[in-house]
Structure 1
């Protein structure tokens, strides 16, 4: 009696990987190298790929998806001493690997530039439209409801307290997101909207930032310290 073949379960990335025959090999390479965590997983890569395409509709789909899939291939923890160099290290790996996966050296260079410049820690203004789109797409995933979930996940992983009960909104002190998770809204997240490079990214960033203000307003009601919404 023959054993029926196991059904292949589709993954969230399958629709994007089908856009170009080279992309499955890129994804396989990323899976071998990348160290995922709750905030940098397959779902994050897919969302970044979708928004990279939306923010740069004129860029080739293969390059947009390849940039999104590889942008965290070197994923160092937030408290790692080389955190600010992670995107540079990732770009070097991309530039070396992609020609062996069917991309031309010029295409590998363009993807590598986008990967290098996307990082908030690096503080760079992207040199190319693909880089601007990737940076916007990655920053969007730090905003809105997803942003709230991701900052909570990272804060919990690093053992940070939720908030400073005596001054949760940093009105009488400098924000310290190494100590308090909520402080990360004030050191970074609520400032991100002004850094977006593309029109679709800017519009979505404003919407998602409003969602985070609404979350903080509700949090203020629950802890009995009203949030001083701008």
Structure 2
């Protein structure tokens, strides 16, 4: 009897997230799994939902190692690791290959291959949608904090304007690219890359929420009238 890929992949994947930071932890993997299956239900394409669920659980298992510099590409590492794990559990070779393609193509990086199968496109879209909407605002703020820490700063400043007293490379006082702008750019880049009709529909809804949030944020942080 063929193993249940969804539950099997969850069991294999979750321990890899023990050292993950909040933006790419097991909760993120579970949200991507749930959303990818919802997208599949809204699309008129045939999809192996076991492959899709397994890929969602496994897609970021390499993130903790990538964060600490032990590997360079979490998608490629996950593909190799998942291939070995699933094969050792008796998963059929064609389904292992299908999961591996999803993992190799889920990233938005320029060197990642394009997703070619329905499952790979759905995983890509669900992963990117988790960087949009209400959840996306929180996740992207977490990512800014992670990257700011690596850049040597004590914390990430999420604001709508310049930091007083700072100077940009051109010598202009009080100038920088605010992290709020960075959140907008990261979310928009991901939503513009979506592949599936149900993914794009959800992306439009999530972007509308983010626009409202950004407008409210800017209103709350606006300088007082002089």
Which of 4, 23, 26 in structure 1 is aligned with 2:6?
Answer: 23
Secondary structure, aligned partner of 1:103: coil
CA distance in 1, matches of 2:51, 2:219: 45
Q: Which residue of 2 aligns with 1:46?
A: 30
Q: Say whether residues 1:153 and 2:142 are aligned partners.
A: yes
Equivalent pair of 1:161/1:179 in contact (CA under 8 Å): no
**Residue 179 of structure 1: how far off its partner (Å):** 7.6
CA distance in 1, matches of 2:211, 2:119: 30
Equivalent pair of 1:26/1:101 in contact (CA under 8 Å): no
Is 136-145 or 74-83 further displaced after alignment?
Answer: 74-83
From the superposition, tell whether residues 194 and 23 of structure 1 become closer, same or farther in structure 2 (CA, over 3 Å): closer
Q: Which residue of 2 aligns with 1:166?
A: 162
Counterparts of 1:189-204 in structure 2, within 5 Å, are 189-204=187-202
CA distance in 2, matches of 1:116, 1:139: 15
CA distance in 1, matches of 2:72, 2:185: 16
From the superposition, tell whether residues 151 and 195 of structure 1 become closer, same or farther in structure 2 (CA, over 3 Å): same
Cα RMSD (Å) = 2.8
Secondary structure, aligned partner of 1:36: coil
Which structure 2 residue ranges, 5 or more long, are not aligned?
150-154, 170-175
CA distance in 2, matches of 1:160, 1:180: 10
CA distance in 2, matches of 1:193, 1:83: 27
Q: Say whether residues 1:129 and 2:118 are aligned partners.
A: yes
From the superposition, tell whether residues 218 and 46 of structure 1 become closer, same or farther in structure 2 (CA, over 3 Å): same
Q: Which residue of 2 aligns with 1:92?
A: 80
Deviation by residue 1:69-92 (Cα, 9 ceiling, x = unmatched) = 000111148866678611111111
Q: Which residue of 1 aligns with 2:173?
A: none
CA distance in 2, matches of 1:111, 1:186: 31
**Residue 25 of structure 1: how far off its partner (Å):** 3.2
Is 202-211 or 113-122 further displaced after alignment?
Answer: 113-122
From the superposition, tell whether residues 219 and 41 of structure 1 become closer, same or farther in structure 2 (CA, over 3 Å): same
CA distance in 2, matches of 1:187, 1:83: 27
Q: Which residue of 1 aligns with 2:50?
A: 62
- Structure 1 length normalisation: TM-score? 0.75
Higher RCO (C-alpha under 8 Å, 6+ residues apart): 2
Which of 206, 214, 218 in structure 2 is aligned with 1:220?
Answer: 218
Give the aligned length.
Answer: 198
Equivalent pair of 1:76/1:83 in contact (CA under 8 Å): no
